[in-house]
Structures are given as structure tokens and as C-alpha cells.
């Protein structure tokens, strides 16, 4: 499971410092973690060439920045589509990062679709002490073998009640406030949400956008073409039914990193 360590230039951390989670204070008990939405996209807003496949987009410098972000958050969340497509490691591979600065991988898997096994990357890394054991948030009890694998490395399975029938077409199986509150209850003070397309598009829905504190997007100089996994949230209309922008970022900074540019901002309307 050994992949080459990444090198991160410390001065790059000053550029993104304003978007980082605040230091947790022992006296405050926020109802939700500081939430950072972060992903890598092509010029045509694609995360991957096709559903179910992984497409490398970040260059070495922006990839190292993503790994630095991982070390600055207590957890990293993905949807089960990404877990299945990528078998991701979800650890921080910057040389010398101690286990206490590794993020907790969290997989949203309401229907228990992730075929997690002893050979899954996150499980192997947890066993080798190079990452934390995964947490799975699901709506149904997992098969005993899967639960055993998760628990054998110190991970946890959270079975939450399925919600009532969806009111809106874009309603997600588990509401985002519920997910964030659950993680907060279990000590997660900062959460990095990496994807994939479904997860990002539902978080960018006008109903959920206010839950996002920071947005950090790597834009790679490539077009992937139609039929990819696209970031494109539900459209929004005003009270007269006229289409209006879903949201615009404020406090924007563009950070060039190698051939990529990293866009940092905060969704408008946040304090
Ligand atoms: N370039 C980048 O930075 C990244 C790229 N990717 C790419 O994205 C692709 C995967 O994206 P996609 O296929 O859209 O899958 P996702 O990773 O977004 O997972 C989607 C699934 O997660 C579950 N889910 C999502 N939201 C919720 C919620 N609120 N409550 C409960 N369950 C939820 C659902 O599972 P169910 O269907 O069982 O209900 C849903 O179908 C891959 O190709 C991957 O490589 C992924 C991350 C980052
Ligand atoms: N930052 C970034 N750049 C890309 O080009 C990507 N394809 C991704 N994908 C995300 O990173 C996960 C893979 O992580 P590991 O290297 O295996 O730890 C993948 O699952 C996506 O969440 N990210």
C-alpha cells in the first residue's frame, strides 16, 4: 500500500489560511463541523471522464495542497459512488504527517453498496497505521463480514433511520444537516467533503449551500467532454419563477499552482 510521499511548500499554506477551519475550542460545542467543499475539476466542470471511473486531474502541486487540506480536517467525506469507483486512500501522504493529523474517512453508503473488504485501501492503510479507520453512514445494517472488516481496524458503522418519503426531487436519502450533526456528536469539528458528483451537486443545492463554510476547487487545464461526472447543481428560480444564479462565492482568491489554479471562496450569504 505504499505510494510516494508528496511534498508541500509551507508558504502555500498561508495563501489558503483564511479558508481553513478555526482551531477547535474545548468550551464550544458547534452543531456542525466547519465544512469545506473541495474537489478537482476540468474546464468543462467534470470530475471524471465517465461515471464509475477515476480521472487524475490535479498536478503534483495542487495534489499536495489537497493532502495538506486533509491534514487540516478531522474527517473527509465521500459518497459511495466514489468509494466504489476509486477505492481511495483518503489519507494525507505528505511526508512526516503523524496519525493524529490524519483525517477520519467517512463514506455515505445508505444502501450498503460499498464492497468494503480487508483489501480496500482505507482498511489496509488503517491496519498499517498510515490512516484512520473508516466510518460508514448507512440506512441499513451491513452484512456481518463488512461490519467485521470495518470494526477489525477500529472503524464504525452508523445506521441511521431512513427519512420519510422525499418531498423534493433532489431530497437526499439522509439530510445534510443530519449528517453534519451526527459527525459533530462524534467529535468531528472539521469536515472536508471531496465528492463525487452527486454529493457535491446536492450540497450546492440552495437548501444546503449555507452548510458549506469554504469552497476550495482545483481547476485543471483540460476539457473532458460530455458524458462525464459533472458538477452542475439544480437551477434556482426567484419568486416570479425567473432563473437566478444558484450562488456566487465571495472573499475569492485564485492561487496558481503549477499548471492548475486553486479557487478559494465562501458561499455568499454566510457570516
Ligand atoms: N475530481 C475529483 O476531485 C473527484 C472525483 N470524483 C469522481 O466522482 C465520481 C463519483 O461520483 P458519483 O458517481 O456522483 O458518486 P458519489 O461519490 O457522489 O456518491 C453518490 C452516492 O452516495 C450516496 N449519497 C450521496 N448523498 C447522500 C446523502 N445525502 N445521504 C445518503 N447517501 C448519499 C448515494 O448512494 P445510493 O445511490 O446508494 O443512494 C449516492 O448515489 C467518480 O468517478 C470519482 O472518481 C469523486 C470525488 C472527487
Ligand atoms: N484533488 C483531487 N484531484 C484529482 O485529480 C482527483 N481525481 C481527486 N479525487 C479525489 O481523491 C480521491 C483519491 O484519493 P487518494 O489519492 O486515493 O487518497 C478520490 O476518491 C476523490 O475523492 N482529487
Q: Residue 100 is part of a domain; what is its CATH number?
A: 3.40.430.10
Rounded Cα distance, 88 and 54, in Å:
10
**pLDDT 10s digits, 33-50:** 999 999 999 999 999 999
Task: Kindly state whether residue 136 falls inside one of the protein's structural domains.
Answer: yes
- Please answer whether residues 46 and 197 qualify as being in contact, where contact means their C-beta atoms are separated by less than 8 angstroms: no
Per-residue pLDDT, averaged over 77-87, amounts to 98
Is the CB of 57 inside a 6 Å radius of any atom of ligand 2?
Answer: yes
Task: Kindly state whether residue 239 falls inside one of the protein's structural domains.
Answer: yes
Task: Kindly state whether residue 1 falls inside one of the protein's structural domains.
Answer: no
Alpha-carbon distances of 257 from 53, 59, 216, 224, rounded to whole Å: 25, 8, 13, 20
* Largest CA-CA distance found in the chain, in angstroms, rounded: 57
Closest residue by Cα to residue 131 from 157, 97, 80, 156: 97
Per-residue pLDDT, averaged over 86-112, amounts to 95
Task: Kindly state whether residue 240 falls inside one of the protein's structural domains.
Answer: yes
Is the CB of 208 inside a 6 Å radius of any atom of ligand 2?
Answer: no
Regarding pTM above 0.90, the answer is: yes
Q: How many domains does the chain have?
A: 1
Is the CB of 40 inside a 6 Å radius of any atom of ligand 2?
Answer: yes
Question: Where in the sequence is the domain holding 91, given as residue range(s)?
Answer: 32-267
Is the CB of 58 inside a 6 Å radius of any atom of ligand 2?
Answer: yes
CA 211 to ligand 1 center in whole angstroms: 18
Task: Kindly state whether residue 81 falls inside one of the protein's structural domains.
Answer: yes
CA 85 to ligand 2 center in whole angstroms: 11
Rounded Cα distance, 45 and 22, in Å:
29
Of the listed ligands, the closest to the CA of 69 is: 2
Is the CB of 260 inside a 6 Å radius of any atom of ligand 2?
Answer: no
**pLDDT 10s digits, 146-205:** 999 999 999 999 999 866 655 544 445 799 999 999 999 999 999 999 999 999 999 999
β-bridge partners, 6 = 94
Q: Is 108 exposed, middle or buried (0-12, 13-18, 19+ CB in 10 A)?
A: buried
Answer yes or no: is the ipTM higher than 0.85: yes
Task: Kindly state whether residue 155 falls inside one of the protein's structural domains.
Answer: yes
Rounded Cα distance, 190 and 202, in Å:
19
Is the CB of 89 inside a 6 Å radius of any atom of ligand 2?
Answer: yes
Rounded Cα distance, 179 and 202, in Å:
13
Task: Kindly state whether residue 22 falls inside one of the protein's structural domains.
Answer: no
Rounded Cα distance, 170 and 173, in Å:
9
Task: Kindly state whether residue 85 falls inside one of the protein's structural domains.
Answer: yes
Ligand 2 closest atom vs CA 63: 1
Considering only 22-26, 67-71, 97-101, 218-222, which range has the smallest mean pLDDT? 22-26
- Cell 459527525: give the residue: 183
The answer to whether the Cα torsion of 86, 212, 209, 184 is positive or negative is positive
- Please answer whether residues 205 and 212 qualify as being in contact, where contact means their C-beta atoms are separated by less than 8 angstroms: no
Ligand 1 closest atom vs CA 52: 43
Is the CB of 192 inside a 6 Å radius of any atom of ligand 1?
Answer: no
Amino acid at each position: 500500500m505504499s505510494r510516494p510521499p508528496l511534498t508541500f511548500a509551507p508558504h502555500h499554506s498561508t495563501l489558503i489560511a483564511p479558508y481553513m477551519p478555526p482551531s477547535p475550542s474545548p468550551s464550544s460545542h458547534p452543531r456542525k463541523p466547519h465544512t469545506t467543499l473541495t474537489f478537482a475539476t476540468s474546464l468543462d466542470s467534470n470530475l471524471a471522464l465517465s461515471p464509475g471511473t477515476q480521472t487524475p486531474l490535479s498536478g503534483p502541486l495542487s495534489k499536495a495542497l489537497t493532502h495538506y487540506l486533509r491534514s487540516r480536517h478531522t474527517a473527509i467525506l465521500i459518497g459511495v459512488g466514489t468509494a466504489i469507483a476509486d477505492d481511495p486512500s483518503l489519507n494525507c501522504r505528505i511526508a512526516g504527517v503523524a496519525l493524529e493529523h490524519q483525517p477520519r474517512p467517512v463514506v455515505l453508503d445508505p444502501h450498503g453498496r460499498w464492497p468494503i473488504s480487508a483489501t480496500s485501501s482505507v482498511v489496509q492503510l488503517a491496519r498499517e497505521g498510515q490512516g484512520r479507520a473508516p466510518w460508514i453512514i448507512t440506512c441499513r445494517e451491513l452484512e456481518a463480514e463488512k461490519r467485521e472488516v470495518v470494526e477489525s481496524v477500529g472503524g464504525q458503522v452508523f445506521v441511521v433511520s431512513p427519512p420519510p418519503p422525499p418531498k423534493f426531487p433532489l431530497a437526499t436519502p439522509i439530510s445534510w444537516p443530519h449528517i453534519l450533526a451526527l459527525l459533530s456528536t462524534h467529535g468531528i469539528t472539521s469536515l472536508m467533503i471531496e465528492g463525487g458528483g452527486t454529493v457535491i451537486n446536492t450540497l450546492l443545492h440552495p437548501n444546503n449551500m449555507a452548510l458549506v463554510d469554504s469552497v476550495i476547487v482545483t481547476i485543471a487545464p483540460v476539457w473532458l467532454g460530455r458524458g462525464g461526472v459533472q458538477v452542475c447543481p439544480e437551477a434556482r428560480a426567484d419568486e416570479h419563477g425567473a432563473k437566478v444564479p444558484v450562488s456566487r462565492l465571495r472573499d475569492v482568491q485564485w492561487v496558481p499552482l503549477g499548471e492548475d489554479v486553486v479557487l478559494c471562496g465562501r458561499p455568499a450569504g454566510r457570516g
